[in-house]
């Protein structure tokens, strides 16, 4: 009974008015965004029938996020974060209205590709504002559960957004999904208008380019002089995408569809299992923060790597495909839960150690490194899976070993941070 009361008290402390408003706004916005991206992707496939064109457009749409996220971090530290979020959601709603009118008159792949590029630009400014707002809306001791909530929202949107988008797209097509997305972004913007996020206007350092240069010099100076342990930590946080997340994204469909010869529906179920693992990681993050010290965050990398062992074993014993599939399903949940816990605790640590005036830039650096690591990892594992042939289990176990090896420098960096 005492524990239940403590958990309820913690929940009340976390879900104060402004954090709750931001969470509700994120739920609406992310579901709209997830449905929109799914529908745009399906439309490209329907119009072209080409997986190559679909993959090319998807890859190109990531470029603005990589290039502009650092600038988005500068803006998040210079401007009102509430204003950035609300303005971008209002702008997205208006942009989709124009896109709907143009698409009705001239449907085409070029128009969709342009829309996906603009959405990527918007994301590069929106995400740093959201991520750097969390430490300003909750107390330091609630940073981990707050980041866990945001992770769960992203996972739920990734899980149910395409499902709902698929149903609507199958019944009515893209032209029916666009109005629903417009409503989502508009209401999210209205919610964000009522947010109260602490903001202190800083004087500009001359022109725009000079301001960006000076701001990044301050951030680099902070990392190289005051928090060298944190500087070492940033690539290790993003490294998870290179050594593990990319392996799952490439390996899961390859193993299920090619190695086991199972259906697209079962692959969809496995992809959903990864979202379930992320949600589970978010739910457990508060408990993990209380029971696992900061210097032992690396243990979640070991858990993630260990969960790859049954995954690989299931590939070896593939004479009973459905039995192998169930083992892979459970392994995927365990691996994504472990990696999610690692990411949430690391992100909270970065937020806790970074001054508010530098939060946007530092979080944008983390996001940029993570985004760059993912396609590099996918290319690496694509080559490895092709090379392995029927020995796919070796690549899966190699991914697990990479996680274990990543834990070693992570352990040293955490100890250095403790000394600092």
DSSP 305-331: HHTHHHHHHHHHTTTSHHHHHHHHHHH
CB 161 within 8 A of CB 65: no
Tell me what the pLDDT averaged over the chain comes to.
Answer: 78
Q: What is the CA radius of gyration of the chain?
A: 22
Is residue 385 predicted with pLDDT exceeding 90?
Answer: no
Q: Find the mean pLDDT for residues 185-204.
A: 81
Q: Do domains 1-191 and 208-420 have the same CATH topology?
A: yes
Which pLDDT value is given to residue 357? 73
Q: Could you give the C-alpha distances from 249 to 100, 121, 301, 361, 375, in angstroms and in order? A: 32, 24, 18, 28, 10
Residue ranges in 241-320 assigned as alpha helix (H): 246-253, 264-291, 299-306, 308-316
Segment 389-403, tens digit of pLDDT: 778 888 889 888 988
Q: Which of 2-11, 204-213, 333-342, 354-363 has the lowest mean pLDDT?
A: 2-11
Is residue 11 predicted with pLDDT exceeding 50?
Answer: no
% pLDDT > 90, the chain:
5
Which pLDDT value is given to residue 96? 92
* Distance (Å, whole) CA 4 – CA 44: 49
> Residue 374: left if φ>0, alpha if ψ -120 to 50, beta else—which one?
alpha
Q: Following DSSP, what letter does each residue of 41-67 receive, concatenated?
A: HHHHHHHH--HHHHHHHHHHTTHHHHH
Q: Which of 14-23, 225-234, 396-405 has the lowest mean pLDDT?
A: 225-234
% pLDDT > 70, the chain:
87
* Distance (Å, whole) CA 352 – CA 7: 22
Q: Could you give the C-alpha distances from 353 to 37, 172, 214, 227, 347, in angstroms and in order? A: 34, 49, 21, 8, 10
CB neighbours of residue 329 within 10 Å:
21
Q: Find the mean pLDDT for residues 188-216.
A: 73
DSSP label of 79:
S
Higher per-residue confidence, 346 vs 217: 346
Q: How does residue 52 score in pLDDT terms, banded at 50, 70 and 90?
A: low
Segment 279-337, tens digit of pLDDT: 888 888 878 888 888 788 888 888 888 988 998 888 887 677 888 888 888 998 898 88
* Distance (Å, whole) CA 181 – CA 39: 11
Q: Find the mean pLDDT for residues 156-164.
A: 73
Which pLDDT value is given to residue 301? 87
Q: Which of 10-19, 32-41, 79-88, 400-409 has the lowest mean pLDDT?
A: 10-19
CB 300 within 8 A of CB 334: no
Give the SS3 label for residue 105: helix
List of residues 6+ apart from 41 with CB closer than 8 A: 54, 58
CB 120 within 8 A of CB 62: yes
Which pLDDT value is given to residue 98? 92
Q: Which of 55-59, 194-198, 387-391 has the lowest mean pLDDT?
A: 55-59
Domain 208-420 in CATH: superfamily? MFS general substrate transporter like domains (1.20.1250.20)
Count of all residues that appear for the chain in the document: 420
Give the SS3 label for residue 183: helix
Give the SS3 label for residue 180: helix
Segment 112-145, tens digit of pLDDT: 888 888 888 888 888 888 888 888 888 777 788 8
Q: How far is CA 360 from the centre of its chain?
A: 16
> Residue 106: left if φ>0, alpha if ψ -120 to 50, beta else—which one?
beta
Angle (CA) 410 414 420, round 5°:
145
Q: What are phi and psi of 355, to 5 degrees?
A: -60, 150
Which pLDDT value is given to residue 13? 58
Q: Find the mean pLDDT for residues 42-63.
A: 67
How buried is residue 334: exposed, middle or buried, by Cβ count under 10 Å (0-12/13-18/19+)?
buried
Which pLDDT value is given to residue 7? 39
DSSP label of 272:
H
* Distance (Å, whole) CA 146 – CA 15: 9
The correct answer on CATH 1.20.1250.20 for the domain covering 1-191 is yes
CB 223 within 8 A of CB 355: no
Domain boundaries, the chain: 1-191, 208-420
Is residue 230 predicted with pLDDT exceeding 70?
Answer: yes
DSSP label of 22:
H
Q: Residue 171 has which token pair? A: 């019944």
């Amino acid at each position: 009974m005492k524990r239940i009361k403590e958990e309820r008290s913690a929940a009340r402390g976390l879900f104060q008015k402004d954090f709750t408003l931001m969470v509700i706004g994120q739920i609406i916005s992310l579901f709209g965004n997830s449905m929109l991206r799914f529908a745009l992707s399906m439309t490209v496939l329907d119009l072209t029938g080409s997986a190559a064109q679909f993959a090319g457009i998807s890859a190109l749409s990531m470029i603005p996020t990589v290039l502009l996220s650092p600038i988005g971090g500068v803006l998040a530290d210079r401007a009102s974060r509430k204003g950035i979020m609300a303005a971008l959601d209002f702008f997205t709603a208006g942009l989709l209205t124009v896109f709907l009118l143009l698409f009705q008159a001239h449907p085409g792949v070029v128009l969709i590709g342009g829309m996906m590029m603009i959405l990527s630009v918007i994301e590069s400014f929106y995400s740093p504002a959201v991520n750097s707002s969390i430490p300003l809306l909750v107390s330091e001791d609630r940073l981990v559960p707050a980041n866990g909530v945001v992770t769960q929202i992203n996972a739920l949107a990734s899980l149910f957004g395409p499902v709902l988008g698929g149903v609507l797209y199958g019944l009515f097509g893209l032209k029916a999904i666009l109005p629903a997305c417009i409503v989502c972004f508009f209401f999210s913007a209205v919610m964000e208008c009522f947010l109260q996020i602490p903001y202190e206007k800083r004087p500009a350092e001359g022109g725009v380019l000079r301001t960006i240069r000076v701001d990044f010099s301050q951030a680099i100076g902070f990392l190289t002089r005051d928090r060298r342990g944190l500087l070492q930590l940033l690539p290790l946080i993003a490294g998870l995408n290179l050594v593990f997340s990319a392996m799952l994204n490439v390996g899961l469909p390859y193993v299920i569809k090619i190695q086991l010869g199972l259906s697209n529906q079962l692959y969809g179920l496995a992809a959903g299992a990864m979202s379930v693992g992320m949600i589970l990681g978010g739910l457990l993050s508060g408990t993990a923060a209380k029971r696992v010290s900061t210097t032992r965050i690396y243990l979640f990398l070991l858990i993630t790597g260990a969960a790859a062992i049954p995954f690989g074993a299931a590939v070896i014993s593939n004479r009973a495909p459905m039995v192998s599939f169930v083992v892979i399903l459970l392994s995927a949940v365990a691996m994504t839960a472990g990696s999610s816990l690692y990411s949430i605790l690391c992100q909270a640590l970065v937020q806790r150690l970074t001054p508010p005036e530098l939060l946007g830039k530092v979080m944008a650096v983390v996001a940029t490194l993570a985004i760059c690591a993912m396609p590099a990892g996918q290319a690496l594992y694509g080559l490895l899976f092709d090379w392995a042939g029927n020995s796919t289990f070796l690549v899966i176990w190699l991914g697990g070993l990479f996680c274990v090896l990543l834990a070693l420098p992570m352990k040293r960096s955490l100890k250095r941070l403790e000394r600092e």
